[in-house]
Structure 1
């Protein structure tokens, strides 16, 4: 692949990321991404043979962004393992709430099941990081199972919070208090952070 091919490929993904943030998942069409990039509507197919391939490349960008946020949160956290797990959970939820279109795209089953462009591999390092933190906190625990349950709880919390269902059901407007309850349910009591 030539440098200009790589540049166009990156520009197409950039345009998709921007379109997703501005207009949501339903706006992500090959034709609209091509228009925003200033190329013919057939040009994206040189780099992305199918629409799912382009969506997967955009989702990989989302996983890279989320991973960067997670690393940053862990780098800033000076507390113990539970505090690091809380920082990781908070980064995950903040990403989901700040970038709902990208978050929805990243967890589309058709993309993950087809494993287009190694998307499944892009999603696993964060789970492995959470599993490692849980294992370090309690080596006698079944870390993958606890991490899976915590992740499922966080994912559900993100979805329900975005739709204001949790606030309606619980009367709770304090995101942090609900997050602490989730963490306590899976990791035990903490320092209240």
Structure 2
């Protein structure tokens, strides 16, 4: 199982590598490997909705711009694909202040009890969460009580992707969830 998770994580990283483009240049089209050569084709959908980052709610925090993906739900891989296709990536959170700003904005849009993907994952090594968007280990955390728990579902899937979720009315906290779960997401653009 560890090898397949590492392989999927590596393939995922390779599938979504997109060079950073200037704001005036549209990012290159994603190159997805053929389904028969890798599991990556099972993780994402090549047909992206015709929405773009300019029709998504936006807010700023310091030097970052965030876009709330609230027009459709997607699994973690497809959400990441969508953000990258539009020259962004799933958000990474580095402080309580940043987490609070995300929570405030999500509440203001009326989505406080929804789930939102961000770029945290432990797909490469169980229990070692890092931000896929930066490749850096997660240092600031805001886990819900008892999380991460790597719950294992009847179908064998484990929880390896990080979401924001207010499960008990006490604010958006972090939860590890099955990457295949379809929910909203937060994209981030940095200068």
Where is the helix percentage greater, Structure 1 or Structure 2? 1
User: TM-score normalized by structure 1?
Assistant: 0.27
**Which of the two has higher C-alpha Rg?**
1
User: TM-score normalized by structure 2?
Assistant: 0.28
Q: Which has the higher contact order (CA 8 A, sep 6+)?
A: 2
